[in-house]
Amino acid sequence: MVEETLVLIKPDGVARSLTGEILRRIEAKGYSLVDIRMVQPERDILAAHYAEHEGKPFYEPLVEFMLSGPIVAIRVAGDRVIEGFRMLSGTTDPTLAAPGTIRGDFGRDWGLKVQQNLVHGSDSPESAARELALWFA
């Protein structure tokens, strides 16, 4: 089933010049880049994007981190791409993410925080629709 998902390359991914490598992995898997833009987001879009995490202890550091530099927003299409990109990405904590995944291969645990995990991928069809509307309004 062809789906679309929202991928964000977070400020650490852009700052570490991993944009091309992350795009390469998405394309190598066979997914299509439908739309792409570089954004310096405002707080309001991040508050909407991460609304489910409001009130959690990591929420403020997460939003501050996401405001710390440009990010790349990508509309990605492919067969079961929502779950598939989550697998390419690896588990949330880069320290535990499996080798072969983006977070597992490039995440580092020395002095870095969990939010510095390079990428975001929508976690369900509902999230994907909501997030794509937000970032590609």
Would you name the residues annotated as active-site residues?
Answer: 120
Interaction pattern, residues 110-129, with Mg ion; x per rule: CB under 5 A: -------------x------
Applying CB under 6 A, does 80 fall inside the site for ligand DAT? no
- The footprint of ligand DAT on this chain (CB under 6 A) covers a number of residues equal to 9
Residues flagged as binding site: 10, 58, 86, 92, 103, 117
Q: What is the DSSP string of 46-97?
A: HHHHTGGGTTSTTHHHHHHHHTSS-EEEEEEEEETHHHHHHHHH--SSTTTS
Applying CB under 6 A, does 115 fall inside the site for ligand DAT? yes
The rounded distance, in Å, linking the Cα atoms of 5 and 132 is 7
Applying CB under 6 A, does 123 fall inside the site for ligand DAT? yes
